[in-house]
């Protein structure tokens, strides 16, 4: 076999291709690994800030500086941390723990305040040693190069043997058959190979293709003429289905709205009924006094105002006509209004709603629609607690945060999670695990449509240790 044989050329191409892939992939892997370690460091910083703020605020306030030093000595055991320093608001040292004396270029500093009872009482400075990250990145790069070399050698050997045995020999046979057809000028003669492998199939398929091409030209022209009509029909059909889903979603939301109004009205109506009955009984027995009558009327007026306030709250988020134009709105303020909508239902179900929301997140989109999405997720969590008698500390946690590219909204509960056979289907239209009288299975589908189509975002669901976790990410403005 000559130096420039097909197998040698393919082997050389394989070698070059794999080398290029490695050369291009190595910086990408390095960047990804570095980005992961950086994110890990950022996450460690956020968690450490939270832990230290909670742990040292009370000892500092009570001047237990020995306790503060013991706490930060425990935290400084992390190899990423070079030192932790705690100073009072005047800059005087309270406590310091040092893991590494290295103060070179790989040191990164983080500072934050410690507050106790809304009062600034101390400052904490954390120095991180990025040398550990650089060592891990170098180790990853070396391991990738070793793995690439081993894989390249093995693949080259196997590739060479396979090409010579299974490709070159059959190609020679195929070449002789084509050359013979060329010499005899019989171009309509079928190509035949006495093999039982893919080359035989290739020859048979080639022969069939010649005839099929001629037969399909007429069908293709006819299909092209009808294609535009069929596409429009499918578009109209999908639009009709989507409109049906939206209409059903509105009925679902209306039912949820009426249910929430009923929960909010139950207590005021009961108070009005009780007060009115008391006035009637006292009047019948002639014991009704003017001051008691006035007090009772004040109670009725107060409860009536609550009923009116409830209607105003729900009109704002459910009944007002939808604005087509997008607006800038504060995410935290929007989510916090959930409490006024479902507070009574949460109290009735003994469920705690926990909010961890960043203050300065601004979204450009449809405020009412995004509010509906979050409300649907919370309602799903509330329904998930039904018949869960063994859960005593029922919690729904909503958090929001952002990075340079995305805004994240996370709802998480401890209701036990979603069954594995359902978790991949819950965003499908009409899918539901409820009884037919409880819903039509469109809420989560509509949530996905609102997030994806109206806000260019994504919504995902995963099971945690204790329940279900929905994550919405929306691109930043």
Residues 126, 131, 135, 140, CA torsion sign: positive
Output helix, strand, coil percentages for the chain, rounded to the nearest 5.
Answer: 60, 15, 20
What pLDDT sits at residue 462? 93
**Mean per-residue pLDDT over the chain, rounded:** 77
Starting at the earlier edge strand, list the strands of the sheet with 458-463. 351-357, 394-402, 406-413, 468-475, 458-463
State the Cα–Cα distance between residues 444 and 426, nearest whole angstrom: 7
Q: Identify the CATH class of 220-320.
A: mainly alpha
For the stretch 146-185, what's the b/e string if a residue is b when 16 or more beta carbons lie within 10 angstroms of its beta carbon? Answer: eebeeeeeeeeeeeeeebbeeeeebeeebeeeeeeeeeee
- In the block, which residue shows the tokens 């590219």? 405
Instruction: List, in sequence order, the alpha helices (H) in 315-387.
Output: 331-336, 338-349, 367-384
Task: Determine contact, residues 144/26, Cβ cutoff 8 Å.
Answer: yes
The closest alpha carbon to 126, from 53, 67, 63, belongs to: 53
**220-320 and 323-475, same CATH topology:** no
State the Cα–Cα distance between residues 56 and 116, nearest whole angstrom: 10
Token digits of residue 205: 């398929």
Task: Determine contact, residues 227/235, Cβ cutoff 8 Å.
Answer: no
Burial category of 123 from C-beta neighbours within 10 Å (exposed 0-12, middle 13-18, buried 19 and up) = middle
Tell me what the mean pLDDT of segment 126-145 comes to: 78
State the Cα–Cα distance between residues 123 and 93, nearest whole angstrom: 10
What pLDDT sits at residue 345? 79
- The number of residues in the chain equals 477
55 pLDDT higher than 80: yes
Tell me what the mean pLDDT of segment 462-475 comes to: 93
- In the block, which residue shows the tokens 């310091």? 96
First-to-last alpha carbon distance for the chain, in angstroms, is 62
pLDDT digits (tens, 9 = 90+) for 10-44: 777 877 877 887 777 778 777 787 788 778 778 87
Of the listed ranges 285-289, 338-342, 428-432, the one predicted with least confidence: 428-432
The closest alpha carbon to 394, from 461, 467, 343, belongs to: 467
Of the listed ranges 82-86, 260-264, 278-282, the one predicted with least confidence: 260-264
What pLDDT sits at residue 98? 84
358 pLDDT higher than 90: yes
Token digits of residue 172: 């020679």
370 pLDDT higher than 80: yes
Confidence of residue 459 (pLDDT cuts 50, 70, 90): very high
Confidence of residue 321 (pLDDT cuts 50, 70, 90): very low
For the stretch 52-86, what's the b/e string if a residue is b when 16 or more beta carbons lie within 10 angstroms of its beta carbon? Answer: bbebbbebbeeeebeebbebbeebbeeebbbbbbb
Task: Determine contact, residues 128/82, Cβ cutoff 8 Å.
Answer: yes
What pLDDT sits at residue 266? 60
Q: Who has greater pLDDT, 240 or 83?
A: 83
SS3 annotation, 241-262: HHHHHHHHHHHHHHHHHHHHHH
Q: What 3-state class would DSSP assign to 469?
A: strand
User: How many Cβ atoms are within 10 Å of 132's Cβ, its own excluded?
Assistant: 17
- Residue-range domain boundaries for the chain: 1-188, 220-320, 323-475
Decide yes or no: CATH 3.30.1490.100 for domain 323-475. Answer: no
Tell me what the mean pLDDT of segment 328-339 comes to: 89
Distant-in-sequence, close-in-space partners of 167: CB < 8 Å, separation ≥ 6: 6, 7
Token digits of residue 369: 């629609």
Confidence of residue 185 (pLDDT cuts 50, 70, 90): low
- Pairing of the two strands 81-88 and 406-413: unpaired
pLDDT digits (tens, 9 = 90+) for 377-425: 998 898 889 878 788 899 999 999 999 899 999 999 999 999 888 888 8
Ordered DSSP codes for 56-116: HHHHHHTT-HHHHHHHHHHHTTSTTEEEEEEEETTS-EEEEEES----STTEEEEEEEEEE
Percent of the chain with pLDDT strictly greater than 70: 70
User: How many Cβ atoms are within 10 Å of 288's Cβ, its own excluded?
Assistant: 15
Task: Determine contact, residues 288/279, Cβ cutoff 8 Å.
Answer: yes
């Amino acid at each position: 076999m000559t130096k420039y044989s097909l197998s040698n050329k393919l082997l050389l191409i394989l070698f070059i291709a794999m080398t290029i892939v490695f050369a291009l992939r190595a910086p990408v892997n390095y960047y990804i690994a570095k980005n992961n370690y950086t994110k890990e460091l950022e996450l460690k910083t956020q968690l450490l800030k939270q832990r230290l703020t909670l742990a040292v605020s009370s000892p500092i306030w009570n001047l237990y500086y020995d306790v503060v030093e013991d706490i930060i000595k425990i935290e400084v055991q992390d190899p990423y941390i070079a030192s932790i320093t705690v100073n009072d608001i005047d800059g005087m040292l309270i406590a310091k723990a040092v893991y590494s004396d290295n103060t070179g270029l790989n040191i990164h500093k983080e500072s934050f305040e410690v507050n106790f009872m809304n009062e600034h009482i101390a400052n904490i400075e954390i120095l991180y040693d990025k040398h550990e990250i650089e060592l891990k990145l170098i180790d990853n790069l070396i391991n990738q190069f070793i793995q690439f070399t081993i894989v390249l050698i093995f693949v080259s050997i196997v590739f060479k043997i396979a090409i010579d045995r299974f490709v070159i020999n059959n190609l020679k046979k195929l070449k002789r058959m084509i050359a013979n057809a060329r010499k005899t000028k019989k171009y309509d003669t079928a190509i035949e190979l006495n093999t039982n492998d893919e080359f035989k199939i290739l020859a048979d398929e080639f022969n069939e293709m010649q005839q099929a091409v001629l037969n399909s030209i007429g069908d293709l022209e006819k299909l092209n003429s009808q294609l535009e009509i069929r596409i429009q029909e499918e578009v109209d059909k999908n639009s009709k289905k989507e409109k049906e889903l939206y209409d059903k979603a509105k009925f679902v939301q209306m039912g949820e709205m009426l249910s929430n109004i009923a929960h909010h009205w139950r207590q005021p109506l009961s108070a009005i009924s009780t007060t009115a009955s008391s006035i009637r009984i006292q009047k019948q027995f002639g014991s009704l006094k003017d001051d008691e009558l006035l007090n009772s009327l004040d109670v009725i007026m107060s409860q009536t105002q609550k009923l009116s306030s409830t209607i105003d709250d729900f009109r704002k988020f459910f009944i007002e006509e939808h604005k087509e134009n997008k607006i800038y709105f504060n995410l935290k303020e929007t989510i916090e209004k959930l409490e006024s909508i479902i507070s009574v239902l949460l109290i009735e179900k003994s469920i705690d709603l926990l909010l961890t929301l960043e203050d300065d997140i601004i979204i450009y989109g449809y405020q009412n629609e995004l509010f509906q999405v979050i409300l649907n997720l919370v309602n799903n969590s509330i329904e998930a607690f039904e018949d869960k008698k063994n859960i005593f500390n029922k919690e729904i946690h909503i958090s929001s945060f952002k990075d340079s590219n995305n805004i994240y909204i996370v709802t998480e509960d401890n209701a036990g999670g979603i069954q594995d056979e359902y978790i991949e289907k819950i965003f499908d239209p009409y899918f539901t695990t409820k009884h037919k009288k409880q819903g039509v299975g469109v809420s989560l589908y509509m949530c996905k449509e609102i997030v994806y189509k109206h806000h260019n975002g994504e919504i995902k669901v995963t099971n945690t240790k204790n329940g279900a976790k929905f994550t919405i990410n929306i691109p930043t403005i």
